[in-house]
Structure 1
Amino acid sequence: MNYHQVSKIILDPNIVDCIVFWTKNPKNMIDKLLLLKDYKYYFQFTITSYDSSIETNVPRKKEIIETFIRLSNIIGKDRVIWRYDPILLNNKINEEYHYKYFEYSASKLYKYTNKCIISFLDMYKKTRNNIKYLNIKPLYKKDMIRIASGLMNICNKYNLKLETCAEEIELNDIGITHGKCIDDRLISKLWGINLKIDKDKNQRKICGCVSSIDIGAYNTCIHGCLYCYANFSEKSVKNNLKKHNPNSPLLLGNLEETDKIFMKKMESYRDGQLSF
């Protein structure tokens, strides 16, 4: 990637069909949501069971749950999706640990969301160094089915739908379907628009997401989750944070004289309004 080749993305509400946010803590965004009043958007909000030994700088779960509830009360439970991922096992974290804390979170969140999305830890090459001291246990198909069944039982208790994210394993027999994090069906349901859009060809085959433009950047999050494939270098995160200028159109740094700006091809996939 050429550092001096910059893509310009037009954030025109007439072109942007929807914005999907992934977050573990949108607390600082909540008071600024009015800035997004002309946009359609929803949140993928991750709340796991892990403590600071794994999610180094994530606030306490009590605070995160309060933020989840506050956000849901503002924008609606359909637009705040609970993520419980990635699921991992080691010497301290067993299946019962997951069931206990998953049920705790479900009991707090079920009035404020309709769905939970799960996935199992992928051992990415970039994250191996960060997680090497966690003594991660391998998860086999039978383990995944057993854990998923336990979580599904809890979801049934709280009337929550359960889906997987980018998992090859088939769990339809226990009521768990493959999800789409960037979900044309959800967008159509929420806003009554018909989208003619294909699966994102730039994602893995097992990913169900529809086409989108990612405007995030690697190594820019301070949460320090050891398993995160998007944050694999603490040193890079610190250096990138120093480059951030809230008044710059770039996430990192400022435009330079030698930068070449290219217009990103943008188009709406709306195909008319649905009738109810």
Structure 2
Amino acid sequence: MSQSPELFWFTLELAAAGVFAGVIAGVLAGLFGIGGGAILVPVFYQALGLLEVDDAVRMHLSIGTSLAIIVPTSIRSFMAHHKRGAVDMDLLRSWLLPVPAGVVAASLIVAFVSSAALRGIFAVIAILVGLRMLFNRQGWRLGSDLPGNPARAAVGAVIGLLSALMGIGGGVLNNTFMTLFGRPVHQAVATSAGVGALISIPGLIGYVWAGWGVAGLPPFSTGFVNWVAVLLIIPITMMAAPLGVRLAHALDKRQLEVAFGLFMLLVAARFLYSLG
């Protein structure tokens, strides 16, 4: 990649792949009403495969880049929800240390595990999320209010760990936690934006550190974060998301849950197949 013409054409192809990934992720994120990490990681993974990026770093790069993209979107969403008074600030304050601690643990894991291991982790979590969406029932409850410490801190650390290993902002996991303990779904969604910031900011730093100096990374990458993809995908997903939102309004909430559940199971099957 050191020769100028090769670098130019590879960068152009990477930009095209970023546009493709951004459009697909934006439409699907708007359709399913989530931050896009669970969608962006498999889409970006496929796009990097088309560019013949080294398989040893493809999954790491997909997850790290996804977390970098979540940083501005989660902060913007949190500020908007906070202005409306919809965020559970007590929960966020209690998670200021546990959630980032889980992310740090994930970064340490990422520095030493293979691409195959990360795909396996993603697939297992995707299966659990997909089954949860397929069999979700509004009446399911584990309690009438959120648990106190140390259980609450442990949940925060697990959400940070799993989300950072999967490249997501933790929305699906936090929404499940809060609604199972009687919190309104709107409050859960609003609070998840803040959780996304607690995950993505240290996650971005952790994936840069974990990938520092690793061979096989494409141009304009700092560790496991590719800045061409970041700069392209953020505005493109924002432009493409309204199309997904229009599609979402043609379906009811249960249909969306089933569709997203099936999508996650399909992604899990794709990653498990790649391990064969």
What TM-score does the superposition give when structure 1 sets the normalisation length?
Answer: 0.24
Q: 1 or 2 for the larger relative contact order (CA 8 Å, sep ≥6)?
A: 2
> Higher strand fraction: Structure 1 or Structure 2?
1
> Higher helix fraction: Structure 1 or Structure 2?
2
